[in-house]
Amino acid sequence: MELSDRVKAIKPSSTLAVTARAKAMKAQGIDVVSFGAGEPDFDTPQNIKIAAAKALEAGLTKYEPTPGTPAARQAVADYMNQRHGHNAKGENVIVSCGGKHALYLAFQALINPGDEVLLPAPYWVTYPEQAQMAGGTVREIHGSADNDFKITPQQLEAAISPRSRVLVINSPSNPTGTMYSPAELEAIAKVVAKHPRLIVFSDEIYERLVYGEDKFVSFATLDPQVGQRTVTFNCLSKTYAMTGWRVGFTIGPADLIKAMSDLQGQMTSNITSFCMPAIVEALTGPQDAVEQMRQAFAKRGAHMHKRLGKLKGVKCPRPTGAFYVFPDISDATFGKKDPAGKAIDSAADFTASLLEHQKVAVVPGEDFGAPSCVRLSFATSMEQIDEGLDRLAAYLKSLKA
């Protein structure tokens, strides 16, 4: 069938592809260690499940207002106000089908063909695709590995053109597992302040998964003027181990939220009705499970980083947020041959060869805009981390010059 140019231009998600391939191999009985997961390996806390189950039992099974129930929208506004110092009302919030759909709607609502999206690289694979689906042109700004892959205010200033419309900030970051300090974000906000047409998309979905010395600050609160031009994204997926529920939020100016709601109304309508009370329970109920998961991730991340640091030629910033490490494997592998004599010349070659020879799944950096790196998720058990890193060490030893 002849497909539209629009869908032909879409690159399928490489992160989902790796996870699916590792799952398929496991289903065939192959002993795969997967570092591909972009989701917590914990279950959703019981109190949240019960809230949804009760709502379902009570018959909350019909259409609801497209941007979310008033109670759910207010719970998100209260959460952002109390935890992060926002000044949001219910009308500043829309609930969408995951953080992914929230971002999609925002790109569609703000980008005209030819508008430029400034994208710090490495970046989450979905941003460039969604920016381009909206007719935008992506301009990458490459953060250096020596600066934990973060961009500097000077780099940002140099990249801004009259067509620049949106700057994407994702801190803590997927894929790098690093985050900007409050001072670094302030310096970026100062540059944004000089360019009144520029809007910031602050993707804060990993805000609760923070392990370093730096405190998380929400970008919209740094400068009142820039705050009015900042759109904040959050979700329940990572913080509350709810990736399959598909609950995401946008917090922004009421006119933008209304436009996104009009668009969502023609796409998906409201998210699943009986998830609405679960949003209220997640955000206002006990938070102990979140802290327990954070502590487990902190230990695993530190352990993984320490072990990677012992592998010759592998360079990796310390993970301070999210649940990823993003080592540069080019010195250790590029230009060498694997046990089958195949040359390793790219992160994609390395990833395929590692899976074939040692049954370890990692995600190649090409689609994140970082072709020397691979992403490993530490949302898996300590035993799997040790087993996978033993295999990675054995693989590196097996390479021939």
Considering only 79-87, 93-101, 256-264, 339-347, which stretch makes contact with ligand PLP by CB under 6 A? 93-101
Q: How far apart are CA 4 and CA 8, in angstroms?
A: 6
Hey, which residues between 110 and 149 contact ligand PLP (CB under 6 A)?
A: 124
By Cβ distance, which residue is nearest to ligand PLP? 98
DSSP string over 182-230:
HHHHHHHHHHHHT-TT-EEEEE-TTTT-B-SSSPP--GGGS-HHHHTTE
Looking at 130, 171, 232, 237, which residue binds ligand PLP (CB under 6 A)?
A: 237
Least distance CB 168 / ligand PLP (angstroms): 9
Would you count residue 243 as binding ligand PLP (CB under 6 A)?
yes
Contact 353, 384 (CB under 8 A): no
Question: How does DSSP classify residue 288?
Answer: H
Least distance CB 175 / ligand PLP (angstroms): 8
Would you count residue 174 as binding ligand PLP (CB under 6 A)?
yes
Q: How far apart are CA 135 and CA 114, in angstroms?
A: 6
Q: How far apart are CA 151 and CA 387, in angstroms?
A: 34
Least distance CB 149 / ligand PLP (angstroms): 14
Contact 283, 75 (CB under 8 A): yes
Considering only 18-26, 70-78, 97-105, 272-280, which stretch makes contact with ligand PLP by CB under 6 A? 97-105
Considering only 92-100, 182-190, 275-283, 392-400, which stretch makes contact with ligand PLP by CB under 6 A? 92-100
Alpha-carbon dihedral angle through residues 240, 245, 250, 255, given to the nearest 10 degrees: -150
Q: How far apart are CA 350 and CA 364, in angstroms?
A: 8
Q: How far apart are CA 126 and CA 94, in angstroms?
A: 20
**Residue 366, number of CB atoms within 10 A of its CB:** 17
Least distance CB 358 / ligand PLP (angstroms): 25
Contact 300, 385 (CB under 8 A): yes
Would you count residue 38 as binding ligand PLP (CB under 6 A)?
yes
Would you count residue 240 as binding ligand PLP (CB under 6 A)?
no
Query: Which residues are CB-neighbours of 126 under 8 A, at least 6 positions away?
Result: 13, 100, 103
Least distance CB 72 / ligand PLP (angstroms): 15
Looking at 235, 280, 296, 379, which residue binds ligand PLP (CB under 6 A)?
A: 235
Least distance CB 12 / ligand PLP (angstroms): 15
Least distance CB 230 / ligand PLP (angstroms): 16
Question: How does DSSP classify residue 346?
Answer: S
Q: What are phi and psi for residue 68, nearest 5 degrees?
A: 120, 160
Contact pattern from residue 274 through residue 313 relative to ligand PLP, giving x for each residue in contact according to CB under 6 A and a dash for the rest:
----------------------------------------
DSSP string over 108-160:
HHH--TT-EEEEEES--THHHHHHHHTT-EEEEEEPPGGGTTPPPHHHHHHH-
Size of the site for ligand PLP (CB under 6 A): 13
* Closer CB to ligand PLP, 324 or 395, in the complex: 324
Least distance CB 15 / ligand PLP (angstroms): 7
Looking at 128, 177, 248, 277, which residue binds ligand PLP (CB under 6 A)?
A: 248
Considering only 56-64, 94-102, 249-257, 374-382, which stretch makes contact with ligand PLP by CB under 6 A? 94-102
Binding site for ligand PLP (CB under 6 A): 38, 98-100, 124, 170, 174, 203, 205, 235, 237, 243, 248
